[in-house]
Amino acid sequence: MPGGVRFDYRGARVLITGGSNGIGLACARAYAAAGAKVVITGRKAHADDYGHDLSEFDYRPLDVDSRDELLALAASLDGLDILVNNAGGTQDSEWDHDGFDKSIRVNLASAFHLSVACKPLLEASRFEGGASIIAIASMTAFFGSLWTPGYGPAKAGLVQMVKTLGHSWGGAGIRANAVAAGLTRTNLTAAAIDNLPGLKEQTLARQGLKRVGAVDDIAPAVLFLSSPAASWITGQTLNVDGGFTTGM
């Protein structure tokens, strides 16, 4: 874990959607290193289909655009302490009706359906500090974008969703928070960062910290919010963005 921060997740049961790559994989590795038992999902049929080692995790193929698959995944779990709703991404042609609708389903509706399906498991958790739902949001939740008319509103919906879940499910011992990531280099964003004219330059000009984020910048925030150290935090969104939201 960067910066020498150490968490103790021994015995914790964690589910991370989209944990096969990017921010999700960084979170999965961090939880596993802290002693957790981690289930990850991805779109490929087998863990061996990826170009990196996922053998330390329990891998489950999942199409988050399928409500049936989301419900089946929740039903297959023996127990759960932490749910990280990470899977998602921009869609082709979000200005078209079908692309917009799919972006809302993949980035927002899937997180809601899986959270509801996992609620009984989370209610039964005895993890210190309470069970947690963490959503991975984005700066597009707060600012307009030329390219993501579906993705941005979906991420804004996640910010609102954790407020509602945090308020509604606190009595059941379930906390809900989000991490809004700034411009972060992943397998999905690398091409845009390197090739989309002005994206990197304009973002860094606004940021206080003049570098693109790394996945290992995001994972510690996720682990903090689900830890006993954050046991009185719920319904909140933590911006991990190099200071982007504080600039003008």
- Domains and their CATH numbers in the chain: 2-236 (3.40.50.720)
- The residues carrying an active-site annotation are 151
Cα distance between residue 140 and residue 219, in whole Å: 19
Task: Determine the pLDDT at residue 241.
Answer: 95
Q: Look at residue 56 and tell me whether its pLDDT is greater than 90.
A: yes
DSSP structural state of residue 109: I
pLDDT (average), residues 163-175: 99
Task: Determine the pLDDT at residue 197.
Answer: 84
Q: Which amino acid makes up residue 246?
A: T
Confidence of residue 4 (pLDDT cuts 50, 70, 90): low
Q: What is this structure's pTM?
A: 0.95
Q: Is pLDDT larger for residue 205 or for residue 230? A: 230
Q: Look at residue 2 and tell me whether its pLDDT is greater than 70.
A: no
Contact predicate 41/73, CB 8 Å: yes
> Quick one: tokens of 206?
């606004």
Contact predicate 190/212, CB 8 Å: no
Q: Look at residue 78 and tell me whether its pLDDT is greater than 90.
A: yes
Helix axes 110-123, 151-169, angle to 10 degrees: 20
Bridge partners, 82 (sequence order): 14, 132
> Per residue in 106-123, pLDDT tens?
999 999 999 999 999 999
Residue for token pair 């080692």: 53
Confidence of residue 196 (pLDDT cuts 50, 70, 90): confident
> Quick one: tokens of 61?
């193929």
> Per residue in 157-167, pLDDT tens?
999 999 999 99
> Per residue in 125-152, pLDDT tens?
999 999 999 999 999 899 988 888 999 9
Task: Determine the pLDDT at residue 3.
Answer: 57
Confidence of residue 1 (pLDDT cuts 50, 70, 90): low
Phi/psi at 216 (nearest 5 deg)? -75, -5
